[in-house]
Amino acid sequence: MAGALEGIGAEDKSRQVSEVANKLEAAEASRAGFEGTLAKAHFVMLSVMHGNMGPAVPGSGVIVPHTSVDADGAPTVGLDAIPPQLRQDAKPSGEELMGIDPKLGFLDKEHENANTDQGMSKFRRGARNVARNAQDYSDAVKELTKPATTEMTEAFQPPETYPVVGTAEPAATFTALPQTHFDGQNAVGNLVVVAVLVTEVIARRMKDWRAKT
């Protein structure tokens, strides 16, 4: 048609008509495309419904809960029956039972509402295991103690302005040494004990003597 119009000298009309024809072709192509998509979607739908594809196909590898429905239409078995938070009893951790806020991090836990003494014992509790380990590796590090000690002096180069930590107060708590046997070398301590005994004896004798006179 465009060619015929051009033949009779109507070039402008020819151009316009060919533009319309191009647009018509494009629209037809889109329609065909949509139709294909629709057919595909239809196929997919039917396949899923008939179990030819999707997670319900045996061997698809997907675990699908077996669901059965009771008289009221509610699922009776399977994962859908009862939501997990209702299916299982609450399992509080030891910390939750003790009323420790579960939001606290591992470092905050003992620090929270802990007094300093408890914090101290924490270091000592942990140190016990590190010390056990240290005893095991004694042979391995035997040659390292002296070089490390030298490093403590020579490699330690703190900045000139250095923050100090803590105050100059005497330490509050000391671990008492277990004293289970008589310490012959503790002269002062033993003398005190002897002096107390002597005083006691003298006091008694004085009392007796006074009673007699």
Partner 1 sequence: MTLNPLFRETMRAAALGKSDEANRLYDQIPEPEISHYNMFIVAFFAVCLEVRFKDDQSFTAIKQFATEMQYDYRNAEPPVKQLVIEGIIRAMMGEEDLIQEISPADQHRTQLLAIRKIVAQSPEMQIDLAPFLADAEGLAAQWAQAE
Task: List interacting residues with partner 1 (CB under 8 A).
Answer: 105-108, 110-111, 116, 119-120, 122-135, 137-138, 140-142, 144-146, 148-159, 162-171, 173-178
Distance of closest approach, residue 194 Cβ to partner 1, in angstroms: 22
**Residue 78 zone, left/alpha/beta (φ > 0; ψ -120 to 50; rest):** left
Between 116 and 213, name the residue whose CB sits nearer to partner 1: 116
Residue 2, Cβ density class (10 Å: 0-12 exposed, 13-18 middle, ≥19 buried): middle
d(CA 31, CA 100): 65
Distance of closest approach, residue 67 Cβ to partner 1, in angstroms: 43
d(CA 87, CA 81): 9
Between 88 and 175, name the residue whose CB sits nearer to partner 1: 175
Decide if 173 contacts 120 (C-beta within 8 A): yes
Distance of closest approach, residue 185 Cβ to partner 1, in angstroms: 10
3-class SS of residue 93: coil
Q: How many residues does the chain have?
A: 213
Between 121 and 199, name the residue whose CB sits nearer to partner 1: 121
d(CA 29, CA 66): 45
Distance of closest approach, residue 200 Cβ to partner 1, in angstroms: 30
Nearest CA among 71, 70, 51, 72 for reference residue 62: 51
Distance of closest approach, residue 195 Cβ to partner 1, in angstroms: 25
User: Around 60, how many Cα atoms within 13 Å sit in the side-chain half-sphere?
Assistant: 12
Distance of closest approach, residue 103 Cβ to partner 1, in angstroms: 15
Between 156 and 209, name the residue whose CB sits nearer to partner 1: 156
Specify the residue for token string 């004085």.
206
Between 46 and 104, name the residue whose CB sits nearer to partner 1: 104
Between 93 and 173, name the residue whose CB sits nearer to partner 1: 173
d(CA 155, CA 203): 64
